[in-house]
Chains A and B, each alone.
Chain A
């Protein structure tokens, strides 16, 4: 190895770095006062991260490899992260099991399969030739990479920095969770949802409390083994005031007690500031109750039920596409959520050449029916989109000359079984939920759970969503075993397709790496003579 190190000054420096990184705790190495080494460490690790996550080598070109014997691969087709997970903790698909390569595991001896610890030389050999330190071949699924010495060292430095936990918010006794509730949520809804979360956490702790005490009680070595069980602690973080003040409130809560993950949550406003916070601190944010996820393209840390009102907007746009003839759309709305829905629809329709007119009104005032009617009268094919709540619909009965009217199931509170609006033209509801009357065994399970615990269901969707968030968190945390790593939570949930059957309210959920919305489509249902008609319900994936 010394001979190899002498081969090039760059590799020598990176090799030294990799060895230093291998030898000490990554958290300590960041604090090293020798700034030259720290900078190199950061450089090496950043380059290694790019290789690991994006498959881009030090030259800026995609890494190249051969897999299953003779199949060439490019880093852009297939990255380390693809198989080993963002956490590096590995994954399994069918009968293929991908091992963990986080530094503390990779650079230590392993027993299953048995191999000595990797060092830089054997790591290079594994990457290039597919042999482990014992000389045994790796699975043909592991690509054999063409890498320079510097690239091997950079990747080693990155892997050495990957943790096997515990991440902030977890230790050998507790896992701290927090649920975010913003002040626009009614106290009644807040309490109804918190009752579900608190009950779940309390029961979880009751069932495992003896386990978490066990490890220092026994006298035999076996009984003193550290337990896998942790007490869950649930903090409630209330955010108040305008949403541009939320980040500082979140930071203050975080300083007080960083959570391992955010569990559920509730807001009537855009979830974006909370999503940014989770990305910034790399906190898993599991299934918040929001209709405005407002996620960004590369977000990793938040899992949502669906795209909410933006999905409804897309459903309406798809419906307009497949039933052409509309050139003018007039949208009516008041309040933040409806306004964001209207924005979403406008941004889809405008590039398609449909003129969109917005009619915003004060939420305290009544719906400007006359104004709406006169705008619609301009074009006989005009469509009205009513981003309004249930109680606003009744006064519209028979007043709108629109060629077509669309309403939002979310804003109508999914209350579609009673008589709905009748109009001259056809009326539709965008409905990204299970069909009314469709069997929902996950919801039935929740209802029984709540009933036996004396929890009244006043907000079926919000409360059953919170219950699902608990089930998902519990499932993922159990599967982490003793490796309490935040990124690993997300990697686990990416593969927890079996959880989908426990999802209430939303149809056809799927999970997967890079998928951050459980449910992806919905229906546009016609209202015939004031009644919802589900007979010809067509599933739309915008």
Chain B
């Protein structure tokens, strides 16, 4: 709040100075026209002239001195003070925003030196910590949690989520309410969970406590069934508990349809088969009755035709079912190659990875065998010494290219390879069969961009992973065991410490700047901030179909065009999901009024109300950095050492804003702004002050 007072103070000073000068001018004019009788007119005129000139000079000198002092001393001093606060707080590497020609002497250099020394000291401390046991153990635990294939949620006695791992996030990827401090019942159906808890607490589970209680539970929106297990961490009514989650591939509608049609197709064979058996037996028995025998032979033929028709249906369903569910899993191309090299390096060419690889969907072991087989044949039959493996994503497929210097594999030779059996695959599996089971093909040609190279191209199904447009820094696990201590009721919220608040920092991309003139949202990105840190695994990122064309200017700004949003959900659906993601969190945005205006204008149509308190990082930055007029996202990010990624994507800007927000918190504390109500009040006062300024 001191920042705002300082700004108001400066403004008052300039007003007072202007008033004083006006008064002086008035006085001078009054004196000028005054005609005392006692002195000769000429003397008086000269006296008035000199007096007036002296006044004018004095006033001008006063203004100039003040301007010089302000520019060369006061403003640089304010910049050094803000900078020193930033260095002592979130970012020791802060660059002082001091213009050349200031009168502060070596002070800025000394402060910058102090910042550098502080940064080095902090780095040293972090390194020392990193080498120590506790951090090691913590990181090892985080890695372990994230490599567990099962989803894990830890909740306190009230059912609030204290921890969840990457697998839980994947299993519950369609539940926007998943987040630290949120209720487990917001992501899992409450009744089965409560019943499992009761059974566990009453000791009705199996005798071995460590195995917990197994139960099947639907997601909160009842879209999928999960296999769960519940283990109590403590004793008594308020005991914390762990729920493990596995998406056991519970029947999807598609899969259930396959199964039903398969059953029907099998059952449909039974009737003609029964008729066939009976008619054939009867024909044999009717050897002494030619008419009856001929009749039953006719029936045999009729039933055989029906059988063939129904068999075709069955065969089609069986094929579809096999292709749909064939132990397929997400596997990384790099892991496939590493798996091949780990087992049989002797008779293979030298293999390198041409890129970082891609995630694909397949049966890992069979794909390894297939790759090993191809590599071995390249070495043995084409004398290839070195192969580079490239992987590129093209729509729903990953192209796995084996590239080498030399000629392509002739089609006849390749056809021979496809018919050859693959060793160690159980039974007589052919290369071609492995390809068929992955709905893949294999061909060889000259490399399209490197004519001296040949390649074998193997298109495989891409993994069904969410691909975020912004690469987020990896965050091993998502946990906060202090949630129980921080949770506040609505009345307590205003008095809650800012760094304890559960916030959702968001940004929107739009078709234009005028929501009241029909501009619409085309993308919403958000990230949760809990306990004063952004939780990179808890993000909301979606395109929105605006229901109108996106103007060229906006398209150039954010890169989203009509084609991108054609299949995206409409604003009502998106706002409902976003509201569920926000829950009870406080909203934070940069220049929040703009984004909130878009949300508010949709309130009536969507029925979704965003009634949570809103904080604006632009106003918060003005409170902290009162010496500067530049409060753009880039400028603040630069001051606070926040790397800017994915600028002008909703999620990218939300992440940058979140990093800025958490770094502003300690600086706000230094200004006496510690609680939500104080931040809210300061933002309101500053907004009102800006409105007044604009009115001038």
User: Do A and B share a complex?
Assistant: no
| Chain B residues with a Cβ under 8 A of chain A | none
Interface residues of A (CB under 8 A from B): none
